[in-house]
Amino acid sequence: MTCVGLGLRCVVFGQHHPPPPTTPTPATTATEQSITGDWIIHFQAGHQSVSGNLHLETDGERLTGTVETAHTGSGTIENGKWSQQKLSATCVFKKHESVILEGDLKSDGKLAGKYTTEGRTETWQAERKTVLNGASASMVSAVYAQYQRLIGTWDVTAPDGGASIAVQRFTWGPNHSYIWHAGSFIGSDGKEEPHFEGMLVWNGVHKNLDVLVTLDLQSGRAQEQGTFSVAPDGTIVREITGVFSEGVTPIGEAKVGAEGMSKHFRQTFKPDGADRFLTSVMRETNDGSWVATFPGSEKLIMKRRKAEG
């Protein structure tokens, strides 16, 4: 089975810091930096990224566990060793060639290194799974794991802060089988003005999320269709085409004529901490250049809204 499409993204992983012992030893140092637990792992290959679930167990220097991605299927961690903040192991799969992992725990909390499979060597990173909005990452299918950080309600502001100009929401469908996505602008009176809503669904052929949302919540005469994907640096990219019927007035455009109109848009979500994204919303012009969809949309901040109560 060819692994050209295997790509792993960066995964940040946390650690526990118990009170230091009176007399540190190599063994207690390893305990302080324990990697036992559940993680999201990202394999990077060229411009593609594949994420999945990783479970690790340590017993002294012995490292065991399981790993699963949509590309490789499920597998086990064998010949594993964890010593002096460095690991080595072989991921053995039933339906894919084995993957040899080497890496170490970085000072910024990331577990990262290189992997080798099918004669190629690429990079990987991993981050510890967390609980977001009541849903443990261990409950999330491997194919959606790399998008879980989007789940929540996000206030959109200018870089220097101030009042929210928009709100974006990402929520799970039943059994984490899809993501519901909705957005609203904030009027001058502080009230939400619904802008769009729709679904993000995993595409097992193209290895991304397919998007279909309605932009016209009054008459259903405008839609956006496209994809969500993950760039090598972990930035989530929303690449969409807006399709507008006669009489609709898209942002930054004149009223659409009888022939209808389509426009290409792009939004990026660059992680900037656990509860913050740097985001931009751009549209492609007729000459192929990119401009802000609305004034200031080339540089915005998204902050996770704290749960009420």
pLDDT tens for 218-235 read 888 999 999 999 887 889
Q: In the chain, what are the helix, strand and coil shares in percent, each to the nearest 5?
A: 5, 55, 40
* pTM score of the predicted model: 0.59
Higher per-residue confidence, 276 vs 10: 276
Which residues of the chain does CATH 2.40.128.120 include? 26-129
Higher per-residue confidence, 307 vs 177: 177
Rounded Cα distance between 161 and 268, Å, is 19
Q: Decide: 149 and 10 in contact? Cβ < 8 Å.
A: no
Q: Structure tokens of 244?
A: 């507008």
CA quadruple 88, 148, 118, 97: dihedral positive or negative?
Answer: positive
Q: Does the structure show a pLDDT above 60 at 23?
A: no
- pLDDT class for 301, splitting at 50, 70, 90? very high
Mean pLDDT of 50-75: 88
pLDDT tens for 164-211 read 999 999 998 887 889 999 999 998 888 898 889 999 999 989 989 999
Which pLDDT belongs to residue 30?
Answer: 38
Mean pLDDT of 108-134: 82
- pLDDT class for 18, splitting at 50, 70, 90? very low
Mean pLDDT of 11-32: 41
Which pLDDT belongs to residue 121?
Answer: 94
Q: Which CATH number fits domain 141-304: 2.60.40.10, 3.30.479.10, 1.10.1660.10, 2.40.128.20?
A: 2.40.128.20
What is the maximal distance between C-alpha atoms in the chain?
79
Which pLDDT belongs to residue 175?
Answer: 79
- pLDDT class for 307, splitting at 50, 70, 90? low
Which residues of the chain does CATH 2.40.128.20 include? 141-304
Percent of the chain with pLDDT over 70: 83
Q: Structure tokens of 214?
A: 């309605």
Give the mean pLDDT of the chain: 83
Rounded Cα distance between 38 and 55, Å, is 5
Q: Does the structure show a pLDDT above 50 at 57?
A: yes
SS3 of 44-68: EECCEEEEEEEEEEEECCEEEEEEE
What three-state secondary structure class fits 174?
helix
CA distances from 222 to 64, 121, 271 (A): 51, 45, 30
Question: What is the dotted CATH code of the domain comprising 26-129?
Answer: 2.40.128.120
Mean pLDDT of 3-27: 39
Lowest mean pLDDT among 11-25, 53-67, 223-237: 11-25
Percent of the chain with pLDDT over 90: 48
Q: Decide: 170 and 180 in contact? Cβ < 8 Å.
A: yes
Mean pLDDT of 126-133: 68
